[in-house]
Structure 1
Amino acid sequence: MAQSAINESNVAPFPSIPAQPTSGERSQGAVQVFPSTRPGYRLVPALIGTFARHQLAWIECPSWCIENHASEPSALEDITHYADSDMLEIPTFSDPESAAYVLYARLEADPVASDPRVRETHVLLWEDASPMEARLTPEMAEGLADEMIAFASHLRHLARAARQHNEVSRRRVSLLKAQDGAA
């Protein structure tokens, strides 16, 4: 079988085409198609630049991030990672069509923030009608969750006390009506 001229050692590759490893060289080292990512991250496309001039780049993104970083161009330093948010609606009987308060919570990380705590993954809480936000470390979020569980227990206690008081009041009114009717 004839040997290809490309595999001959006296044939130099074109200057614009890098020399390719021989089959023996390939088996010694692993070929990696994509850069490796840290555990808990994945590579996602992102549009970097402005609307007038941008390009697609691959960035590391936390596995919990739901943001589509390729939907609109942005500066690399403006990319923030967001998880899906959950909410707690606090109703009021004075306006049953809308909630009195809506509290949201989600994971967030801003990889290039000046504050290292904002660069790390943290819990973000905010109320629908307020510009204020609460950024919590994981430890702070767990402490708040413990306080909220205690608050929920207190709220159940208040609901039972209100229900019992209303039942006693209704019985008293019924008893008074019955006495007035007997007199």
Structure 2
Amino acid sequence: MTTVLPEQTSAPGSATSESVPRLRPALVNGQRIWVECPIWCVEDHVAASERHLEDVCHTSGAADLVAPREGGPSQLLLLSRLIAGTGSAPEDRQPLVTIDVDDVNGMYLEPAAADVFADGLVAFAEQVRALARTARDA
């Protein structure tokens, strides 16, 4: 839920529980307001400077899957984070797990689907380890 309050000089009280949202400043159409953020949100809503209140979204820190490259820098393969909107409907505020392949292609998964995806990653990791063992033993 998004709460619009008049501008204040300091943010209201801090949350002590991981499930308690907190109010943070946001810039919407040039107007400074306060929005209710989930505890996991790391988005700088002032820097994002959205045009419309419904464009404000919450994002978490990212989990990265990086692959080493022979003779070069590591390459980011996947990144995952939480994202939630601020719309008035409850489904708009439900956090989803994003799996981003690059800046253009990504998936938005509900928690149960994210668990299935993670199970697939574990199985994939086991197959990669088996391939590495085979290559070492060859």
Using a 3 Å threshold, how does the CA distance of structure 1 residues 151 and 113 change in structure 2: closer, same or farther? farther
RMSD of aligned Cα (Å): 2.5
1:108-152 deviation line (CA, Å, top 9, x unaligned): 1122298x3x54101101123x62101111111111111111111
Give the fraction of aligned pairs with identical amino acids, expressed as a percent. 34
1:40 aligns with 2:20: yes
In 2, Cα distance between equivalents of 1:82 and 1:104: 13
Corresponding position of 1:86: 63
Detail structure 1 runs of 4+ shifted over 4 Å in the superposition.
none
Write 1 or 2 for the structure with the bigger share of strand.
2
Tell me if structure 1 keeps the 8 A contact 2:64–2:76: no
Deviation at 1:72, TM superposition (A): 4.7
Corresponding position of 2:4: none
2:95 corresponds to which of 114, 121, 132: 121
TM-score by length of 2: 0.75
2:54 corresponds to which of 77, 102, 105: 77
Using a 3 Å threshold, how does the CA distance of structure 1 residues 137 and 113 change in structure 2: closer, same or farther? farther
Alignment size in residue pairs: 121
Write 1 or 2 for the structure with the bigger share of helix.
1
1:68 aligns with 2:44: yes
Give the number of the structure whose alpha-carbon radius of gyration is greater: 1
Corresponding position of 2:81: 106
Corresponding position of 1:160: 133
Corresponding position of 1:140: 113
Where structure 1 has 5 or more consecutive residues not aligned to the other structure, the ranges are: 1-33, 166-183
1:46-102 deviation line (CA, Å, top 9, x unaligned): 1221xxxx3221111111011111225322111011111121112343xx3134552
TM-score by length of 1: 0.58
In 2, Cα distance between equivalents of 1:140 and 1:104: 16
1:56 corresponds to which of 25, 32, 40: 32
